[in-house]
Amino acid sequence: MEVFRICGGNSLSGVVNISGSKNAALPQFAATLLSSERSILKNVPNLSDVRFMAEILSELGAEIRKVDDTTWEINPANISYKAPYELVRKMRASICLLGPLVGRLKKAEIPMPGGCVIGQRPIDLHIRALTRLGANIELQKGIVKVEGKNLRGNKIFLGGRHGSTVTGTTNAIMAAVLAPGITTIDSSACEPEIIDLCNMLLSMGAKIRGIGSHSLEIEGVSKLSGCHHTVMPDRIEAATYAIAAAITQGKVTLDGAKPKHLGSFINVMQESGISMDIHQSDQIKVYLNNGELNSLEIITLPYPGFPTDLQAQSCALACRAKGLSILTERVYPSRFMHVPELMRMGADIAMEGASSVVKGKSKLTGAPVMASDLRASAALILAGLAAEGESWVQRIYHLDRGYDAFEKKLQALGAIVERVPESKLPKSFSTN
């Protein structure tokens, strides 16, 4: 097992290239199963979750070949409907295999997936969608068994307790594109990753209208072809590096980022005194105005609201801001496991229900901390970059699920950070 060692205090400077989106790539790997023909996916990030998904597709019978660092070839001519437990349990996003397997093979068996835990993330809306399309679903010994030989278009409503479901929407779309008749999906998620998936499906021959809205209309077709598709840039990675620039009072250019995907985040950052100059359609320069960071007011919401996947990183930033910042979590109300670890670094944070109230400080102090999930990992590393002294971030395997070459990109910007074996931890630190 490995840890991050960070020596804080350096202002970051330079250009960072934004990788392809994890949250777009994973359902797109699944979508290749909708056709029996070969597909090529480009701009795929090098992440453990992507490798897990490739392994799952291979176990299902697809021929998988990594062409180069960012390009994968998938030939799913002969596939099974049973997903392997040992791989599915490692990654929650594997649930997005349900839609394409049922759509193409008319049946699926998928164990309840695992992955990082950030509160209850049920699959009831996935089941609702497939049931509305005519599928019969049973839960047996932790396995979701779906029979869909009578799949047909229908009306689906995907509104949930905390808003639309992104993976539920992807499953509904992928099951519907091969279902005879017309399917309407109301209260669908409209994240850029959903749009990217729909554009990929259009290139495969699907018929989808209303892309980018909360209401989709899908006309089922009898067959889809393979495709060549380029994965969109990762908006969460781009925003994380923007926060890295601000928290270290640096100046960083995000190359390959899409400003149109970051509207709510850009607004919040600008209101707090962070300049985000858009030079091109895919380039943003980030720096602090007058070197002063004002307090943050954030409420996480489904897209186009402020992303829940940036709440933890923003909490780290708020620790350096002037005055009181309030961050309210409306998507996953229990997503605050990073707070106690930030407090170990000297952060002044009080919890009030689903909100963290952060009293900004002029400095944080390096400390040993423990990552609880993917975005918490990033938050603790960002805090370490701004802290005085040495920080050690443990359980960074979470980080490798969602950030491509994170420490290398930070090093290129001037950060003092390295990945070292856990055995290098000072003996006074405990991993328990």
Active site residues: 116
Indicate if the alpha-carbon torsion angle 128, 129, 135, 138 is positive or negative.
negative
Quickly list DSSP for 186-215: ET----HHHHHHHHHHHHTT-EEESTTSSE
Tokens of 151: 């799949």
| Pairing mode, strands 39-42 and 368-370 | unpaired
Interatomic CA distance for residues 261 and 99, integer angstroms: 26
Helix (H) or strand (E) holding 104: helix 98-105
- The answer to whether 246 and 273 are in contact (CB under 8 A) is no
Rounded Cα gap, residues 17 and 282, in angstroms = 10
Is beta strand 283-288 parallel, antiparallel or unpaired with respect to 251-255?
antiparallel
Are 384 and 6 in contact, with CB atoms under 8 Å apart? yes
Phi and psi torsions of 91, nearest 5°: -150, 120
